[in-house]
Structure 1
Amino acid sequence: MIQLLRNARLVGRDGLCDIEFDGERFGRVVPAGEGAGAQSLDVDGALVSAPFVEPHVHLDTTLTAGEPRWNASGSLWEGIAVWSERKRTLTREDVISRATEVLRWYAANGVLHVRSHVDVTDPGLVALDAMFEVREQVRDVLNLQLVAFPQEGICSYENGAGLLEEAARRGVDVIGAIPHFEDTREDGVRSLEIAFGIAERYGLLVDAHCDEIDDEQSRFVEVLATLARRGGIGDKATASHTTAMGSYNGAYSYKLRRILARSGINLVCNPLANLCLQGRFDDHPKRRGLTQVKEMLGAGVNVAFGHDDVMDPWFPLGTASPLQVALVGIAAAQLTGAAEIDEAFAMVTERAASVLHLGDAYGIEPGRPADLVVLPAASPFDAVRRQTRPSHVVSRGRIIAETPPASTRLTWPGREPEDIDFVRNRDRRSLR
């Protein structure tokens, strides 16, 4: 167990500080040199942040790319069809093995809070029961929230509503929906009403796949936001994907920003997967098909970035790296101002924590769980730009992952061989 972290550079705080640990919780945060503790780690001016947070992934589908076949069109719809085939062969051992492997990748990358959607359009609920076991197995290392996700619909899938309620009875943390996939718009609205009703009865959060389509007429996010506001749950509700926003006209977009800001709901944008999935039916120009990230942030709506898929029928790549997601999100949403890049870092840390409704279970403050990540970087901007791997990941006061410094030795004409770390010379003074 660590008792003291010395010479830490905290996000949003000037100067270096020492962080004391009280067992599995944080103690005092004091100026550098004033901390006390026998078991100490000197991070020598490295950036220290509360851990990364994954607000949207499908752990039950991870590592299945190419099984039973590849998604040849690359579209969302074929991905769902391929998964429906793969789903028939699921076993408890299969789901636990793949999900646990990817969670280990997440932990190594400094992610200690994960929200995973789990397909419950399966009469046997095989994946869901397996994920309950995974949640229990990893609880001493990371926090895993499970979403009951009706991949093939609530109203449009036989006994969809019954399976969703059964998932709530068995102990999920969040209720999901997929209104744009339902057979009719009326079914889509009804599916959200069913999801909100179940969530209210069981005291659960809501996170719906919402408008993940290039159809400019898909506008279920306004329904979700209105249900959240009228039901008084506000930021306990999340709309994930919302890619149809990339096709909305200016007048409706203006109206929508007001609706969402007033409701208090969260949005999750998944840039890696949706940049690949959307626009598949376009010729040219091809739409990006993403949440209006910049505009929604400007309107005061909480927006986070998620990975969504790790090597599955919808996205065949990925290493569960939140900094990679942030980098792609910056490019896709054109968040290239200095403050916007810092905001992108928040979208995989504190903003994502708000999506999970973590409250006092997150953050480097006295009395909170002693979870953090140490990044060999001068700032969030620097960490994102150089894609720095965590030198240390601390969970409940214990170091669970360490990454030795990577170096590239360059021989250059007229100079002695030297290590290249991609830090600008004028920034080097910020890295002790």
Structure 2
Amino acid sequence: MFIVRNAKLRGKDNLVDIVIENGKFKEIGENIRGEFKEEIDVNGNLVSPPFIESHVHLDATLTVGTPRYNESGTLLEGIEIWGERKKTLKKEDIKKNALETIKWLIANGVLYIRTHADCTEESLITVEALIEVKEEMKEYVDIQIVAFPQDGVFAYKDMDKLMEKSIKMGVDAIGGIPHVEITREDGIKSIEYIFHMAKKYNKLIDIHTDETGDDQSRFLEVIAKYTLENEMNGLVTASHTTAMHNYNNDYASKLIGILKRADINIVSNPSSNALIQNRLDGYPRKRGHTRVDELIQRGVNVSIGNDDIMDPFAPLGKGNMLQAAHLLAHMAHLSSNEDILNLFDMITINGAKSLNLKDYGIKLGNSANFIVLDAKDEREAIRLTSDVLYVFKNGKMILKTMPVKRCLIIQDKSYNIDFKI
């Protein structure tokens, strides 16, 4: 049994102490007395539930430039390059890159990851590799795997059979990408198939949806329809939905109301969407993300993913959820006090809802999974993209960070610069 002292919890004015015993939160309160094996004083810093990576591709991560760079920066060229790489994939390479990226994510405070695994690779070593990684890392991070048909379910012969095979291998959710199917009819057919498989195998759904600037790409309404018909409210996620940015306002308003009714989860991927979308616009260039502000205002659950971390689709990234939230604040005009709090929700509790997590949050009896940030509150954390000082998994410390110290010398006088006010 140990205690964390002087913790700042979200929504609380006073600092509290947190007692952890047998990997669970046992007591939370002010000035707790008793004998403890260890005491950690966090000096008023923000203690939060872990960050959640709602959308990433661990099978492709850290492969930028292999076999070539994405010179156009478009989604379609990224798919072409990944298709070329699939011909020479080795399970050992996938696992090595995935494991390294997971370490980055943990160091950035992430303890829950939803990763998409390409299930149109004929040998399915992509799926096999990530299932093995999930098992090997389960003591340190919880991973959900989505069977993701990168090339479409019906765009090529027998892709649907590969998809079902990957489901039987033990994935957690079923994905899709209807906007890359050859026709709109095939896109709708793929959505029907995804829901059929989800019901058959009792899986969650997470579909790459309308990831384009084309205002005629309107598969999100179809997903909402099948969610309602199958009574899967709250169990379905639509990732990206960037075409919504370009819809006319009357249609978008109607659609958002339907999304709320169906309790669809939306994942915005600000880094990759900012890089990839609207490349063909010329000027003026639209912002390549979904209508985050309007979705939030109407009560739709929105979370954030990094999507691509140094892969054929986007060459940058280090798995930092605060960095993603910081970028979305600028891209989506989210700058009010309430907006900043919403952004923090999007990388914590909203992500937990998208992943359908049950044992999440700093509550008595829950598993003691939490992080300590080098920040006094959510606003400071997002503004500074603050370091994660501690990461605890089931009450066990798995990361400790020594913050950077900057000593500025002006006229022989030293100043400690930490950018805090």
Q: TM-score under structure 2 normalisation? A: 0.98
- 1:328 matched to 2:327: yes
- 1:189 matched to 2:188: yes
Correspondences of 1:353-432 after superposition (within 5 Å):
353-359=352-358, 361-413=359-411, 416-424=413-421
CA distance in 2, matches of 1:420, 1:182: 53
Gaps of at least 5 residues in structure 2 are none
Q: Secondary structure at the match of 1:60?
A: coil
Partner of 1:126: 125
Partner of 2:316: 317
1:50 is displaced (CA, Å) by: 0.3
CA distance in 2, matches of 1:229, 1:292: 22
Partner of 1:12: 11
Q: Secondary structure at the match of 1:374?
A: strand
Gaps of at least 5 residues in structure 1 are 425-432
CA distance in 2, matches of 1:220, 1:181: 11
Amino acid at match of 1:161: D
Correspondences of 1:213-362 after superposition (within 5 Å):
213-359=212-358, 361-362=359-360
Partner of 2:37: 38
Q: Which moved more, 1:152-161 or 1:202-211?
A: 152-161
Partner of 1:172: 171
Q: Is the 8 A contact 1:392 1:403 kept in 2?
A: yes
CA distance in 1, matches of 2:11, 2:350: 14
Q: Is the 8 A contact 1:261 1:300 kept in 2?
A: yes
Q: Is the 8 A contact 1:64 1:313 kept in 2?
A: yes
CA distance in 2, matches of 1:281, 1:208: 24
CA distance in 2, matches of 1:14, 1:310: 37
1:230 is displaced (CA, Å) by: 1.5
Partner of 2:64: 65
CA distance in 2, matches of 1:255, 1:348: 27
1:411 is displaced (CA, Å) by: 2.0
CA distance in 2, matches of 1:35, 1:155: 63
1:407 is displaced (CA, Å) by: 1.6
CA distance in 2, matches of 1:227, 1:321: 34
CA distance in 2, matches of 1:34, 1:72: 61
Q: Is the 8 A contact 1:71 1:313 kept in 2?
A: yes
Q: 1:409 to 1:156 in 2, by over 3 A?
A: same
CA distance in 2, matches of 1:337, 1:325: 17
What is the aligned-residue RMSD (CA, Å)?
Answer: 1.1
Q: Is the 8 A contact 1:6 1:44 kept in 2?
A: yes
Q: Secondary structure at the match of 2:112?
A: strand
CA distance in 1, matches of 2:3, 2:333: 39
Q: Is the 8 A contact 1:121 1:157 kept in 2?
A: no
CA distance in 2, matches of 1:40, 1:198: 49
1:417 is displaced (CA, Å) by: 1.1
Map Cα deviations across residues 364-421 of structure 1 (whole Å, 9 max, x no partner): 11121111010121110011101110111111111111111212111235x7211011
Correspondences of 1:49-64 after superposition (within 5 Å):
49-64=48-63
1:220 is displaced (CA, Å) by: 0.5
Map Cα deviations across residues 336-355 of structure 1 (whole Å, 9 max, x no partner): 00110111011011111111
1:36 is displaced (CA, Å) by: 5.3
CA distance in 2, matches of 1:239, 1:184: 20
Q: Secondary structure at the match of 2:410?
A: coil
Q: 1:35 to 1:174 in 2, by over 3 A?
A: farther
Q: Secondary structure at the match of 1:330?
A: helix
1:33 is displaced (CA, Å) by: 3.6
CA distance in 1, matches of 2:74, 2:154: 23
Correspondences of 1:22-33 after superposition (within 5 Å):
22-33=21-32
1:79 is displaced (CA, Å) by: 0.2
Amino acid at match of 1:371: N
Amino acid at match of 2:274: L
1:38 is displaced (CA, Å) by: 2.3
1:34 is displaced (CA, Å) by: 4.2
Amino acid at match of 1:103: I
Q: Which moved more, 1:146-155 or 1:222-231?
A: 222-231
CA distance in 2, matches of 1:32, 1:62: 45
CA distance in 2, matches of 1:384, 1:51: 15
Q: Is the 8 A contact 1:310 1:316 kept in 2?
A: yes
1:157 is displaced (CA, Å) by: 2.1
1:32 is displaced (CA, Å) by: 3.3
State the percentage of identical aligned residues.
Answer: 43
1:35 is displaced (CA, Å) by: 6.3
Q: Secondary structure at the match of 2:413?
A: coil
Q: Is the 8 A contact 1:20 1:35 kept in 2?
A: no
CA distance in 1, matches of 2:220, 2:382: 30
1:37 is displaced (CA, Å) by: 2.4
Partner of 2:79: 80
Map Cα deviations across residues 257-283 of structure 1 (whole Å, 9 max, x no partner): 111111101000000001000111111
Q: How many residues align?
A: 421
Runs of 4+ in 1 over 3 A off after TM superposition: 32-36
Q: Secondary structure at the match of 1:327?
A: helix
CA distance in 2, matches of 1:305, 1:37: 37
Map Cα deviations across residues 135-157 of structure 1 (whole Å, 9 max, x no partner): 00000001000000000000112
Q: Secondary structure at the match of 2:329?
A: helix
Q: Is the 8 A contact 1:4 1:35 kept in 2?
A: no
Q: Is the 8 A contact 1:6 1:35 kept in 2?
A: no
